[in-house]
Amino acid sequence: MAALAPTSLSKDPLSNGALTRIFGSRVKSLEIQHTQLRLWTCFRSNSGVKLKASAEPPALTREPKSDKQESIMEMGNGCDLFNEMKNNFLSFKKHKYMENLELFQALSKGQAPKFMVIACADSRVCPSNILGFKPGEAFMVRNVANMVPTYESGPSETNAALEFAVNSLEVENILIIGHSCCGGIRALMSMQDEVDSSSFIRSWVIVGKNAKLSTKAAASNLSFDQQCTHCEKESINCSLLNLLTYPWIEEKVKKGELSLHGGYYDFVDCTFEKWTLDYKGSVMEGKNRVVVKNQSFWC
């Protein structure tokens, strides 16, 4: 990233000569003054960081930007991003933390969530924001396309989280949440049969291969977009079945100590579908097809 520390400039950290070195010899004096003000504002509010320009000089807008100029602009914009983040944190502290101090003090000593939530890493589908989970209510893991690999697949961050949530926290519910317009599912549906081992994404989403095969068999007459929507839901069900490959999960489900649920958030229409795995029915089906109960649709 291109940035200049204050010690690398002349005695005046914002001298015209220094700015000329940053932006090139064609910058006019008025443009230098304009950029100088923005630089000084960023420097004043972040005295411990390197100098960064927060905007491109007007004279350069018609010319291709160099990598150095792009980097300076991006770093300058970061000042505003983190200022906003800081304000959000201070607002949280004042209006949430301090007003619920007893709750947060209790959480500092331990957690006892009722839910484990497995959701997609997509920035548009934060479970706490959508479903209103409060601190301490849900143990969460998020990955690409909200997938659960089988027990036989070996270690991953997802099954490590499962082990902790089920065996240590003793959650009573596992909820897998899928969503509309999922890029991970689209990547899965676009894949050829051969997995590109050089791609981390492809190597991961192959976990949902059975969902893809089921979709191709049941929805081959639909458009690609419609097939992706079908696979988004089918993948949730395949992951529910994969949960039963973990001996300690199946044991608790069989005893009625743990329930497995699926959820689907359509953020285009803002609707939510929820269902629960019928363990006995799924076992009778040979664990190759999910049988569900307690379906509901929220809109």
Annotated binding site for Zn(2+): 120, 122, 179, 182
d(CA 143, CA 148): 9
Nearest to 37 by CA among 7, 57, 64: 57
d(CA 56, CA 35): 8
d(CA 266, CA 279): 26
Cα–Cα distances in angstroms (integers) from residue 77 to residues 71, 83, 149, 168, in the given order? 10, 10, 39, 43
CB 273 within 8 A of CB 263: yes
Beta carbons within 10 angstroms of residue 58's beta carbon: 13
CB 245 within 8 A of CB 207: no
d(CA 97, CA 258): 31
Binding-site members are 120, 122, 179, 182
- The radius of gyration of the chain's CA atoms, rounded to the nearest angstrom, is 26
